[in-house]
Structure 1
């Protein structure tokens, strides 16, 4: 993230609050009255009062200065109020940016929640908030105070104004020329500090491994190198303070020297003693403090502001869309398939074995696909790719003819619904949970969905649609059943069940899948039981050589991996009623196990017979 991005972000923050900035500027004008009038009133008090022997007149002029100082003090209080209206909304925007980035990392496929970056970036947000407020104050203070003082000097004598302005501008030019180097050294210091922190944390958390491997000297040397780098960066940054001192000397003290040396010449030209004294007042009470605040503020807090804001912007990208301002969905092609996977390649690391390698497949509208394979072969990854939760290394995913990468997340919900294994149920009424993706569904539609998915008994046990659901009191299977009904009611034409029925008993699982198969649209089932593959019209099995698609018959004939899965389930005691009963006794009772049901093997055998002679799995 480059410095221009920091500048544009700051400028946008100020422009977005033009009214507040205008109010701040208005009160700054009032606050700068003492800087504008101090020299003039002191000159009048000396020339027309004290030197002329009129003591009361001199006090009257100084009384006017006191009034101006009181008005400036009142305006200072208003300035700080106005400053809060400029700074706090900017802080809130950065906090939202940090939270958005953290949530994106935690909810993306393969992501995980991590509190450390959030805590670190939240600390950075507070640094930016404080330094942003400080920068606004010092820049505003210099512009209004220095501007008022120079106007006062012009009113005293234009020649005096030129004598003061020349060294002041020289000091400002020197400081501005040094700012890029200061910025680079500040960035190096921050990066060196972060590298030291990472190195020390790695050494401390892995101290047992370090001792076991005999790597103490190497580890100490690495940490020592980071300490030295950080110390060098700190020393270099400290040396840059000499440039700030040079700028202050040129812009703040050189005008005083020039005025003192030029005083005899100015008096010979007709400048009064009071005017000379007034010019010195302008320089010492207005220009010097304003320049000192500017140089110290920009050279200290300003550098921290720029570098820290860079870190925030580089780590947390600004959301490219939100709600109503989402990117429009591209127009679909004519009669597209429900899902098109074109040349997909995906791996979890640059040297990892590809989960998918140039994989292509079309699913027509109304298709029913089961995806099977051993654990860890990439079934859930495929679901995340189809749903648009993770981007492929190469290739494209199209849903209903639209490239899913070009569709805003808010609009993807209209194209597909993904039900993961860990079902989410929130505290609230059962109706609110079920209508979450379809708020307009009436009670009749909801009750019909409950009946079709075999969830009517669960709804009655909970107390009906108006009953309050407490997620902690539900079993894993009950939560899955509620999530399945919610997805069934969703208007999305594509439903992806990612092992979303693993906690249901085989018969209730068959009821749920059959209901989704009859539902208009396309169904993709990431299966944990081979019966899901038998029910599907098309099966995708993750073989050692990659995914292989076909019907149940075709895969039995040409996929050793699929035959092995079928054989495993054929002899797997865990699918038997006795195993289901054992799990119930252990407290992992599947939903529906209290009903008289056919076993999975019987269900598969019945479907095999109905299909015309599929191999018997029992």
Structure 2
């Protein structure tokens, strides 16, 4: 089932701000002190020059500089109060997000709540606080500077205000298109990461199936999509530079060019110097913070809040959606696959339906097509007939919903943490890495290797160690459907059982295991016996009664 259209964030954000209007009022009052500091910066400097130093009255000049220094102290008091006000505005948001994440985790038992609680909520809180600070700072700093310019000489406003307004207008007009392109780039990057997360572990199967060309085309298509998104983002990012140049740097140039004219029309040297101070020390830094804050952090906050509040009606009074496994089912309809036009189908007309949370073990003699079936489910192979649907979507469109762990696990050079989080688009807390390793049974290996930040040499790892790392990586991935294609073949029975039980216990996580031992079939809720036209599916007990091949396989396994 496709995810529902998310409720727009803007109305919910406005309702949230309206509910905290008293906090906003306090923020406004304390921000006025900062505006006063900005005003005194240029005004006192102008008076110190005109009425003090240029008039030969050093004491008066020093006095006005002292007034400017006092303004800094008063502004510091206001800044301290502002931080308290921002905390009063931001912490309720964090508390509501945490409440929603915890409520969902407790109610639904979703392990993804750990990521939402430890990472995404903190990102939302910190980013929201930063946006409040830069937006508030720009408004009150600009107000203080513009009032100061008017008090020094109204003619200065004619020079400074038009380019400042043009720069802000340019930024505001391009903010939404820029945000959309940032989100498009993030989506393209995540799609490519999810695709590579499936392809990289399955390179051996891709080569064996002769699917290199098709896989290469799919990968190239996703790389091209990310490149186009990155190029579009880069083009629109130029508007930030233009906005800063027009709004913050052009006024300085205009003040320099018009200085003779201003001085000839009753603008004093002190007022001119004060104007330079207002532009370079107040307006330009405030505009720079606004452009980079809203342009980058604003989109980041939007993405995180949409993920946390997906399927909810308020920000964020209801349950945020987790970043973790979602329940998806698997449907195979008339699935057929042959390795060549004249070849006998390895999988022939297979129809099977698994509900979300199912645990299926696939058994059969060597060469019967078990790994081929795994490749078809993982979309590393394309059916010659029928279709595979995951969560109601065709398998190629549901790449982020499943992860394949092959027999020959892939580990790349880099840190252990980089290997374990390869399938995750968001940051992963170290505590979650340890929790995942403990669940799968790789915690002792992680300790032996030196912890998550240890650098790996893949050639120095045993096959079993590589499998444990790959299993932990898949366990930590957001994919709800896990396909283990003899992924525990190099582990002892106890380690194999622990890993399979960990995957089976993932909330709403669907598990398919291509069995290496009969114990895997005994643990599964359903067993698929691949036997050509006699393929059968049922429980362990049912198949012992109905499938001669299964009885034979069980007997051979138990005789080992």
- Class of the TM-score when normalised by the shorter of the 2 chains: 0.5 to 0.7
Report the CA distance shift for 1:3/1:288 in structure 2 as closer, same or farther (over 3 A). farther
Does residue 60 of structure 2 align to residue 64 of structure 1? no
Report the CA distance shift for 1:352/1:229 in structure 2 as closer, same or farther (over 3 A). closer
TM-score when scaled to structure 2? 0.53
Report the CA distance shift for 1:95/1:235 in structure 2 as closer, same or farther (over 3 A). farther
Does residue 145 of structure 2 align to residue 149 of structure 1? yes
User: What SS does structure 2 have at the residue aligned with 1:115?
Assistant: coil
Identify the residue that residue 54 of structure 1 maps to in structure 2. 57
User: What SS does structure 1 have at the residue aligned with 2:310?
Assistant: helix
User: What SS does structure 2 have at the residue aligned with 1:314?
Assistant: coil
Report the CA distance shift for 1:352/1:23 in structure 2 as closer, same or farther (over 3 A). farther
Identify the residue that residue 256 of structure 2 maps to in structure 1. 260
The farther-off stretch of 219-228 and 246-255 is 219-228
Alignment of 1:204-223 (within 5 A): 204-207=200-203, 209-223=205-219
How far the C-alpha of 1:3 sits from its partner, in A, is: 9.6
Unaligned runs of 5+ in 2: 320-327, 335-352, 356-391, 393-541, 546-560
Does residue 198 of structure 2 align to residue 202 of structure 1? yes
Identify the residue that residue 281 of structure 1 maps to in structure 2. 277
Does residue 21 of structure 2 align to residue 18 of structure 1? yes
Alignment of 1:312-351 (within 5 A): 312-314=308-310
Report the CA distance shift for 1:49/1:318 in structure 2 as closer, same or farther (over 3 A). closer
Identify the residue that residue 162 of structure 1 maps to in structure 2. 158
Q: Do 1:163 and 1:255's aligned partners in 2 also have CA atoms closer than 8 Å? A: yes
Q: Deviations over 1:318-338 (max 9, x none)?
A: 599989xxxxxxxxxxxxxxx
Alignment of 1:337-486 (within 5 A): none
Q: 2:298 aligns with which of 289, 296, 302?
A: 302
How far the C-alpha of 1:297 sits from its partner, in A, is: 0.8
Q: Deviations over 1:43-67 (max 9, x none)?
A: 1101110000111110110011011
Report the CA distance shift for 1:321/1:44 in structure 2 as closer, same or farther (over 3 A). closer
How far the C-alpha of 1:74 sits from its partner, in A, is: 2.7
Q: Do 2:90 and 2:129's aligned partners in 1 also have CA atoms closer than 8 Å? A: yes
CA RMSD of aligned residues (A): 3.6
Identify the residue that residue 30 of structure 1 maps to in structure 2. 33
- Aligned equivalents of 1:277 and 1:320: distance in 2? 48
Q: 2:172 aligns with which of 165, 169, 176?
A: 176
How far the C-alpha of 1:280 sits from its partner, in A, is: 1.5
- Aligned equivalents of 2:333 and 2:240: distance in 1? 52
Does residue 250 of structure 2 align to residue 250 of structure 1? no
- Aligned equivalents of 1:349 and 1:215: distance in 2? 23
The farther-off stretch of 91-100 and 311-320 is 311-320
Q: Do 2:249 and 2:284's aligned partners in 1 also have CA atoms closer than 8 Å? A: yes
Between the two proteins, the alignment pairs up a number of residues equal to: 330
How far the C-alpha of 1:17 sits from its partner, in A, is: 2.2
Report the CA distance shift for 1:228/1:123 in structure 2 as closer, same or farther (over 3 A). farther
- Aligned equivalents of 1:172 and 1:7: distance in 2? 21
How far the C-alpha of 1:190 sits from its partner, in A, is: 1.2
Larger radius of gyration: 1
Report the CA distance shift for 1:156/1:377 in structure 2 as closer, same or farther (over 3 A). closer
How far the C-alpha of 1:87 sits from its partner, in A, is: 1.1
User: What SS does structure 2 have at the residue aligned with 1:270?
Assistant: coil
Q: Deviations over 1:518-541 (max 9, x none)?
A: xxxxxxxxxxxxxxxxxxxxxxxx
Does residue 128 of structure 2 align to residue 125 of structure 1? no
Q: 1:74 aligns with which of 59, 74, 77?
A: 77
